[in-house]
Amino acid sequence: MVSQSGLDTELPLLKVKDGHPRLFLNLQLMVEIKRNALFRDQDIFKEIKENVDKLEGSDLELENPLIRDGHKSPSHKFGTRAAEAAILFLILEDRKYLEISKDLLRITIKYYQIRNDNNLNIHWYNFSRINALAAFDWIFNYLSKSEKDELGRPLLEAIAFMADHPNRRDIFRRNGGGVQSGFYGPNALPWYAGVVFYRTGINDLLAEKLLTSGFEDHIKMLKHRSKRAGDDGGSNSGVIGYALGAYPWAAFNFFHTFFSATGIDISKRWDYLPNFVNYVFWNWLPDKLEFGYGDAKHLDNALPVGLLSLHLEQLLHFYKDDFPQMEKVARYLIKQLSDVRQEDFPYMRFLLNPGVDKKASLGFLQEVPIARHFENMGQVFFRSGNRVDDTYALFTAGGSAQHKHFDDNNFVIFRNGFLALDSGTRPQPGIHLSHYYCRTVAHNCITVKMPGEQMPKYWGGPSKKEEDLPIPNDGGQNELIGGHIFAFDENEQYAYVASNATNSYHEAKVEEVIRQFVFVPPDHFVIFDRVRSTKREYSKRWLLHTASEPEMNSLQFKASHQKGVLFCRTLFPKRAKIAKVGGEGKQFWSDGKNWLLPELTPDDWNYKGMNWLDNEHDLFGQWRVEVVPEKAAKEDYFLHLIQVGDGAMEQMTVSKAIACGNSLGVGFQYGEKEFEVTFFKEGDTGGEITIFRKGRKILEENFTTDLKSQKGFLD
């Protein structure tokens, strides 16, 4: 955990060094930065130089400065170009780049003033604004007093204006995310402005205020992220697109700039970050895919690796000497990635010293367990191995509310394809997002229908052609993080999770919703649900979503995706009604309506960005199977056996239902082993698993009621 050494109350006012530059780099760091740029990273340096050289002698003009959403305008990029020109000047000592940087700062400041005066946003991300501040800092020593005032005063005032309204809602697409989100909007700018303008004489009172508040906010951000990651690893959000995308910049940029400004390596006081590699490893599916959790678009479920190589090198830069296991895994992952050039901070690699690959042994892969519980993230990952043809699954309950859905006790299964998946996608705008995609009905969960229930809102809104309809009553959950995983165990023979999602549902309709989830490697899952409603007439549904149309056979069905196949058999209720829902006209069916993707027009703010919308896309989920008890009752039990395999698997293993006293269960055979898995119907949550090999009992034990301790880096 974090060893802060009282730093949360120790402001850096007296520690910021006099002189410039001091944002990301200083005179001492410039020796190594210059060497990296001219030799090790010469390709990046050459590209930066070519981009800036194109601007020499050109007329700099703002493109549509009053556009409603600044995110759609390239004009904000002048701030980044100014930083590129400034670093070229420091490295090459060619004054033409100094003049280009000054010109770029002038037009950048003009753009900021126009946007601020008209109550318009600059951009969703603060990156180009941080770069503009860096540019001013890097050329500060070479500006006349009048130039410092000409450029510095309006830049400081513009940045302060953007950052001084954290709760404003009157600016369209202004990122109001604070310390518990990505922290990459204007709320994070005070630190950078404070570092640059502290004791410059331009407006020392304002600069000191920004420096102090910016420091305090970044410490709050780091505390929150440390708590979220715990000793397992993780991020502010379980949506890996955010975790591997812009979220890491907030911490890394703060570490770099605190060091360049004060000479203190603050990263060592926040030792939760190395475990982030652990989280990346468990989210990584074959062919660089991911599970599609939360607000993922589900276009291809490709792991968002564009920034991952750089983020991993950042971790190596800060932590390689103290975390050797992290270093092994990080270098293993980097080897599987291509180096994608990024525009957010083009000069960033010049700052890094990730060290040399020692060709470490990959023996750690042999030590990976079959399951890993990320306690603070509310996620359990399962895998039968680390190969392309292995089985992978994710179970979720609780965790972070950032971009999470109403999906406690949900599971996703992958084996050569997405066999049990999260359905829907995230059009912006479009009420498919808020009325279907985020709802319990779009996930592999339990719904309990209470007539008249008003479901909570989610983010998003209608397109121009859509009516802003009431949220449908899907019978789902009304709390994002009401559930929690209370039991977890894993060994070579099986992995087990028990989760209570009762508080995720409206208290007026349920008294108990508990799911027990058992993975029997390599290819079987046993899922038991105890559901008790407050009234017998509140109908319950057990849901499983598929990419393709399922083939139904009594209480069993089969579905496939790509090279994988899933069989699912309902053992209990004995006389259940099982049906498939979906296909054209019913892909996203909920509460009597199909919540299709929007038909956008040029009048919609994100019209060009939504050209991928397609109702028939397989990973949006085209079908689901619903299991409903034949007779209404307050208490119902759902027990399912799932088997996955490759496309050549034509039939499911033979199984038998077990009903004995207070226990329900299933017996089945796979290879040389026979399994019996049972669960308690009443009282304490529990059960038992027994395994035979060739008639000889090799394991018999009760399911745990505790959370297994995990001490290793990967286990």
**pLDDT > 80? residue 165:** no
Helix axes of 276-283 and 324-334: crossing angle, nearest 10 degrees: 40
Q: Which amino acid is at 387?
A: R
Distance (Å, whole) CA 429 – CA 4: 42
Give me the residues paired with residue 640 across strands.
527, 570
Buried b (16+ CB within 10 A) or exposed e, 460-480: bebbeebeeeebbbbbbbbbb
Cis peptide leading into 573, omega within 30 of 0?
yes
Instruction: Decide: helix, strand or coil at residue 680.
Output: strand
pLDDT tier at 14, thresholds 50, 70, 90: low
Mean pLDDT in residue range 380-407: 96
Least confident of 11-20, 118-127, 634-643: 11-20
Distance (Å, whole) CA 411 – CA 266: 38
Sheet of 623-628, strands arranged across = 446-448, 540-546, 623-628, 577-582
Instruction: Decide: helix, strand or coil at residue 285.
Output: strand
> Count of H helices and E strands in the chain?
14, 24
The pLDDT assigned to 4 comes to 43
Tally Cβ neighbours within 10 Å of residue 600. Answer: 23
Instruction: Decide: helix, strand or coil at residue 292.
Output: coil
8 Å CB contact between 453 and 471? no
Cis peptide leading into 65, omega within 30 of 0?
no
Domains of the chain: 19-365 (1.50.10.100), 368-702 (2.70.98.70)
8 Å CB contact between 227 and 283? no
Give me the residues paired with residue 678 across strands.
665, 688
Secondary-structure percent of the chain, ordered helix, strand, coil, rounded to 5: 35, 20, 45
SS (HEC) of 161-227: HHHCCCCCCCCCCCCCCCCCCCCCCHHHHHHHHHHHHCCCCCCHHHHHHHHHHHHHHHHHHHHHHHH
Segment (H or E) for 667: strand 663-670
The pair of three-digit structure tokens given for residue 97, joined into one six-digit string: 């780049």
Instruction: Decide: helix, strand or coil at residue 264.
Output: coil
Instruction: Decide: helix, strand or coil at residue 545.
Output: strand
Segment (H or E) for 497: strand 495-500
Please report, rounded to a whole number, the percentage of residues in the chain having pLDDT higher than 70: 97
Distance (Å, whole) CA 480 – CA 402: 9
Distance (Å, whole) CA 34 – CA 87: 9
Give me the residues paired with residue 163 across strands.
none
Q: What's the whole-number average pLDDT of the chain?
A: 94
Segment (H or E) for 45: helix 42-53
**pLDDT > 80? residue 73:** yes
The pair of three-digit structure tokens given for residue 251, joined into one six-digit string: 């911490």
Planar angle of CA 322, 327, 328, nearest 5 degrees: 135
Residues 6+ apart with CB under 8 A from 608: 72
The pLDDT assigned to 166 comes to 52
Least confident of 36-50, 170-184, 649-663: 170-184
Distance (Å, whole) CA 9 – CA 89: 38
Over its C-alpha atoms, the chain yields an Rg (Å, rounded) of 28
Please report, rounded to a whole number, the percentage of residues in the chain having pLDDT higher than 90: 88
| Tokens 């700052």 -> residue | 351
Distance (Å, whole) CA 269 – CA 137: 27
Q: Report DSSP state, residue 289.
A: B
Least confident of 164-173, 276-285, 586-595, 602-611: 164-173
Buried b (16+ CB within 10 A) or exposed e, 207-239: bbbbbbbbbbbbbebbbbbbebbeebbbbbbbb
Least confident of 27-36, 222-231, 477-486: 222-231
**pLDDT > 60? residue 9:** no
Q: Which of 462, 452, 444, 463 is nearest to 406 (CA)?
A: 444
The pair of three-digit structure tokens given for residue 397, joined into one six-digit string: 């309950």
Mean pLDDT in residue range 579-600: 97
Q: Report DSSP state, residue 350.
A: G
The pLDDT assigned to 135 comes to 98
**pLDDT > 80? residue 383:** yes
Residues 6+ apart with CB under 8 A from 519: 370, 371, 382, 393, 494, 495, 496, 525
Would you list the DSSP string of 354-380?
Answer: ---------GGGGG--SEEEEGGGTEE
Distance (Å, whole) CA 641 – CA 667: 10
**pLDDT > 80? residue 703:** yes
| Tokens 């993780």 -> residue | 234
Distance (Å, whole) CA 202 – CA 485: 54
The pLDDT assigned to 678 comes to 98
Tally Cβ neighbours within 10 Å of residue 599. Answer: 12
**pLDDT > 90? residue 6:** no
Residue 87: phi and psi, rounded to 5, are: -75, -30
8 Å CB contact between 421 and 455? no
pLDDT tier at 10, thresholds 50, 70, 90: low
Distance (Å, whole) CA 66 – CA 107: 15
The pLDDT assigned to 152 comes to 98
Say how many CA atoms lie within 13 Å of 439 toward its Cβ.
26
Instruction: Decide: helix, strand or coil at residue 390.
Output: coil
Mean pLDDT in residue range 104-128: 95
Distance (Å, whole) CA 524 – CA 569: 11
Distance (Å, whole) CA 290 – CA 270: 27
C-alpha pair distances (Å), 568 with each of 1, 220, 384, 526, 639: 42, 46, 19, 10, 10
The pLDDT assigned to 168 comes to 55
Q: Which amino acid is at 673?
A: K
Tell me the per-residue pLDDT of 603-613, one tens digit each, with 9 for 90 and over. 998 998 898 99
The pair of three-digit structure tokens given for residue 310, joined into one six-digit string: 């750089």
The pair of three-digit structure tokens given for residue 152, joined into one six-digit string: 């510095």
Tell me the per-residue pLDDT of 456-465, one tens digit each, with 9 for 90 and over. 999 999 999 9
Q: Which amino acid is at 49?
A: K
